[in-house]
Chains A and B, each alone.
Chain A
């Protein structure tokens, strides 16, 4: 009841009058005008603000900011290192590929050498064999020709003998006397023709 009567009593006092009297709250604890403009509270707010800002500044500059900076720098370092390592590995991979290609080319060249050498060897052998065979063949041919010539000579001889004998017989049968020398000469002359 007491509060209500004071409220009623103060209800007649205008808020502006209270504000002019330097009051920030009415008897109920409600705000008069803007509490922001209440000079009584400013000292308190400024004091605690300064305390707060100093505390935050020291927390930041002593602990938080150096730590975050260190973490970021470390991360940057890790990334840089990893990139460098990746670059190294890439170079190594390229080198390995080159080595592999070189080995492959070497092996191929060697194989070709071996093939060529083998081919040459085989060719030489074949040439040798062919030459040998040719020589053998020509030898055999010469032998055959010699034999043929011998046989031919034999045959000529036989033909001559038969012709002489036949001519003598014919001459004898015709009642002449066959002169051996003349007959032989005649037959030789004929056979040449």
Chain B
């Protein structure tokens, strides 16, 4: 393996820092380059995401029981959670878009959690993935806004509750922030996922210190293991919260498209 020779430079007696290697996209079969249709680790982990989703939402609910099993309860909980979020944040007339929002949420939450498995590839840590989703949301919401409200959608930038002299300035700020939305929307998710995983990897690199220098190692090794555990716990939280944030922001943007008047 490439990574083996990589760490062997100093014959094993040095700390090896490669926190970003976990984000490398590589073909599953063979050593060739990565083309558009190559089956890569991205393919593998997205396929696992799909399988996990099918297991929860399709196999888990196959009993259709009135008194639900544990898995069915979780599926119903996820359904109710997102449905209620769409209804509360974007309003009742946003419910036709619930399946799309549910698709985004369930994909992100499963990708995030599968990415927490040791050795996993986190698809949502890549800006390419999150940017596509954020751009899709941005374009869909903008087009929807114009289709539903015509040019009345532009009133989303015109804060009628603000004093009149302030409104043009606010409108400028609103326009800028509107176009920054897809950027922040995507970088927030990818950045969170990448940072946590990279930090875990950095602490992991300190963990074998005891093999190199027993003196410092007795202090550094336990500390880094505790740090890995703590960051991992934090990452479990982040995995859910970032999926939640991505979804609720999508709902907020959808609300702007359906009800542009402040």
Contacts and interface: CB of A to CB of B under 8 A. Distances in A.
Contact of B129 (A49, A55, A74): A49
Interface residues of A, number: 46
A25 B20 CA distance: 11
Nearest to B102: A60
A55 to B, nearest CB: 5
Contacts of B42: 41, 44-45, 48-49
Given A30-B18, A47-B37, A60 B57 contact: yes
B76 interface: yes
A77 to B, nearest CB: 9
SS class of chain A's interface: helix, strand, loop or mixed? helix
Contact of B25 (A33, A38, A55): A38
B103 interface: yes
Given A71-B76, A74-B66, A34 B23 contact: yes
A61 B99 contact: yes
A57 B106 CA distance: 10
Contact of A55 (B50, B65, B75, B194): B50
Contacts of B125: 36
A7 interface: yes
B238 interface: no
Interface stretch (A62-70, A140-148, A149-157, A169-177): A62-70
A34 B238 CA distance: 21
Contacts of A47: 36-37
Interface string B150-193: 00000000000000000000000000000000000000001000
B40 A36 contact: no
A53 B103 contact: yes
Given A33-B20, A59-B54, 5 more contacts: A43-B36, A46-B129, A52-B50, A70-B64, A72-B80
* Those 4 A-B pairs whose CB atoms lie nearest each other, nearest first: A29-B2, A64-B57, A31-B20, A28-B6
